[in-house]
Amino acid sequence: MKTKKILLTILGIGIVAAGILFAADHADSPTITGKTTDITDVYAFQSPTTSTNMVFVMNTQGLLTPAATGAASFDNNTMIELNIDNNGDNVEDLVVQCVFNNGTMYVYGPVKPSSTGSKSIVEGTSSISVGVTPYGQTAVIASQNSYLAFAGPRDDPFFFDLDQYKKIIAGTATSFNSPGNDTFKGTNVMSIVLEFPKSLLGATTGKVNVWAEAKRKI
Amino acid sequence: MKKYSTLLRSAALMLSLAFLFSACKKDTTTATVNLFAGFTYQTEDQMARPAINTVFNAAADKDAFNTTIPSAMGAAFQSKFQAKLLGLNPAYTTNALGLSANAFTTLLATDVLTVSTTGTTTFFDGTNVLTGRALGDDVIDTELLLIFGGTTGASNPGLTSDKVSANDKTFLTTFPYLATPW
């Protein structure tokens, strides 16, 4: 019993119907599950169209069914923040802050934060702003000075046969199926996509460390 | 505290309105109004590499992992991650990257994503490892391989791939790259 409990705890007990389902980072803790501060995934890659640019994707509010997506929104009290460490000490040297006001996303930075750590204020002046794309409409893209911004619902790009993994962890299966079944098939996320020149990252060693934080107004 | 916060909010709003008004009078179209001045925001969730909190932390540690600053994560979570790794794969010695249980969990416990600013950006593409994360990267297979695949990646063949190798929609070739929602 104890072993089983521990095993289940490794992944958490996923109850899809209730929306409690643990994945890339989807609903990874009960505290943030179902909230606008739940980050599901972070992506960082060189722009496929402009090699001098970097693209950052920060997805939130995962496992949205098509029926639930229209009502999903970004929260005026939530900041989604990209943290950038450019000298290898895992402390943010620059931040890119995404904050929302009545259907518009305002992006601040990359900018040196006035203090590091778990509390932030919005820094400096806005680099770019973009209207949040409504569900079912063509993507609204803001673009200025090689800086592009998007916010709105998108297909969740994450894929994983999470259900089978849970069975393996629970001891009711011994291997994955072939082919597997993507547990995230047909679900959406509230996505933030930013693209800007790599030169803004302040990298001197050919690399940076990044992570996303979701912060709530206190 | 609440009152103070309300006061600040009102002050910020008044300043914003004043700025907006003066900006209008001067016919300045580029003026930026900081709607967010005077507020403090506090971390509730954070992540970099996929599935780390999900796989390696017990329920009691998940909130702490989501709010511990990365520079403090190694000291707080490495030993727990190592115990979890050896629980998942008791036969673990090193993985395909040549990392011992200690070295691998030291890497994972500090949850940041290293991104190359000069070369290929991928979680793993067969050659480059942990130089970013592209949309199509099969990050779960990479992690399963490193956890269960042993020194050569050939151990536990039923556990080193979930046999889902691509997204359910095709990504776009131009910004914003992610596919339209369902």
Q: State percent of chain A over pLDDT 70.
A: 89
CB contacts, 8 Å: B69 with chain A: 91, 116-118
Phi-psi region of A152 (alpha: psi -120 to 50; beta: other; left: phi over 0): left
Q: Which tokens is B160 given? A: 């080193």
What does the block give as tokens for B10?
Answer: 């009102």
Is position B81 within any domain? Answer: yes
pLDDT value, residue B35: 87
Distance from CA of A103 to the nearest CA of B (A): 13
Considering only the beta carbons, identify the residue of B121, B176, B181 that sits closest to A150. B176
Partner-chain contact B178 A23, CB within 8 Å: no
Considering only CB atoms, which chain A residues are within 8 Å of B117? Answer: 54, 198, 201, 203, 206-208
Which residues in chain B are closer than 8 Å to A120, comparing Cβ atoms?
40-42
Q: Which residues contact A136 (CB under 8 A, 6 or more apart)?
A: A70, B181
What pLDDT, in 10s, does the model give residues B35-61?
899 999 999 999 999 999 888 998 899
Shortest Cα–Cα distance, B179 to chain A (Å): 5
Whose tokens are 């910004």? That residue is B175
For residue B29, tell me if it sits in a domain.
yes
Contacts of B175 in chain A (CB under 8 A): 47, 49, 55, 141, 148, 150, 193, 195
Residue A22 is predicted with a pLDDT of 54
Residue B47 lies in a domain: no
- ipTM score here? 0.89
The values of phi and psi at residue B61, to 5°, are -100, -5
How many beta carbons lie within 10 A of that of residue A142, not counting itself? 17
B98 and B124, same domain (yes or no): yes
Whether residues B34 and B89 share a domain: the answer is no
> Are residues B57 and B17 part of one domain?
no
Q: Is position B113 within any domain?
A: yes
Name which of B44, B70, B116 is nearest A90 (Cβ-Cβ).
B70
Q: What is the pLDDT of residue A34?
A: 76
Candidates B128, B162, B150; CA nearest to A159 is B162
Least confident of A52-56, A101-105, B32-36: B32-36
Separation between Cα atoms, residue B142 and residue B125, nearest integer Å = 9
Q: Which residue of A has its CA nearest to B46?
A: A213
Cβ pair B115:A44 closer than 8 A: yes
- A33 vs B50, higher pLDDT: B50
pLDDT, residue B30, reads: 38
Range of the domain at B26: 1-41
Looking at the complex, report in whole angstroms how far the Cα of residue B120 sits from the nearest Cα belonging to chain A: 7
Confidence of residue A204 (pLDDT cuts 50, 70, 90): very high
**A96 contacts A54 by C-beta, under 8 angstroms:** no
- Residues in A closer than 8 angstroms to B159, CB to CB, are 168, 175-176
Cβ-based contacts of B176 with chain A (< 8 Å):
139, 141, 148, 150, 154, 191, 193
Three-state SS at B133:
strand
pLDDT confidence bin for A60, thresholds 50/70/90: very high
Please tell me which residue of chain A has the smallest CA distance to B110.
A90
**CA distance to partner chain A, nearest, from residue B24 (Å):** 18
> With the C-alpha atoms ordered A66, A104, A143, B40, is the resulting torsion angle positive or negative?
negative
Lowest mean pLDDT among A17-21, A36-40, A57-61, B112-116: A17-21
d(CA B18, nearest CA chain A) in Å: 17
B2 with B82, same domain? no
Whether residue B35 lies inside any domain: the answer is yes
Burial bucket for residue B133 (CB in 10 Å: 0-12, 13-18, 19+) = buried
| Closest by Cα among A37, A82, A94 to A193 | A82
pLDDT tens-place values along chain B, 182 residues long: 444 554 445 544 444 444 444 444 333 333 455 789 999 999 999 999 999 988 899 889 999 999 999 999 999 999 999 999 999 999 999 999 999 999 999 999 999 999 999 999 999 999 999 999 999 999 999 999 999 999 999 999 999 999 999 999 999 999 999 999 99
Residues B28 and B59 in one domain: no
Q: Are residues B66 and B97 in the same domain?
A: yes
C-alpha distances in Å from residue B24, one per residue of A50, B31, B32: 36, 9, 12
Shortest Cα distance, chain A CAs vs residue B84, angstroms: 8
pLDDT the model gives residue B33: 59
In this complex, the residue of B32, B50, B51 whose CB is nearest that of residue A125 is B32
Residue B177 lies in a domain: no
Which residues of chain A are within 8 Å of residue B113 when distances are taken between CB atoms?
Answer: 42, 44, 209-211
Smallest Cβ–Cβ distance between B178 and the set A79, A176, A191 belongs to A191
Query: Which residues does chain B have within 8 Å of residue A126's beta carbon, measured at their own beta carbons?
Result: 32, 34
Number of domains observed in the structure of chain B:
2
Q: What is the pLDDT of residue B32?
A: 52
Say yes or no to pLDDT of A185 above 50.
yes
Whether residue B171 lies inside any domain: the answer is no
Give the list of residues 6+ apart from residue A35 with CB closer than 8 angstroms, or none.
A61, B44
- Whole-angstrom Cα distance, residue B38 to residue A159? 40
Which residue of chain B is at minimal alpha-carbon distance from A204? B117
pLDDT, mean of residues A134-160? 97
The reply to whether B120 and B32 lie within a common domain is: no
Together in a domain, B96 and B140: yes
Say whether B168 and A135 touch across the interface (CB within 8 A).
no
Same-domain status, B9 and B78: no
Asked if residue B178 belongs to a domain, the reply is no
Question: Are B13 and B85 part of one and the same domain?
Answer: no
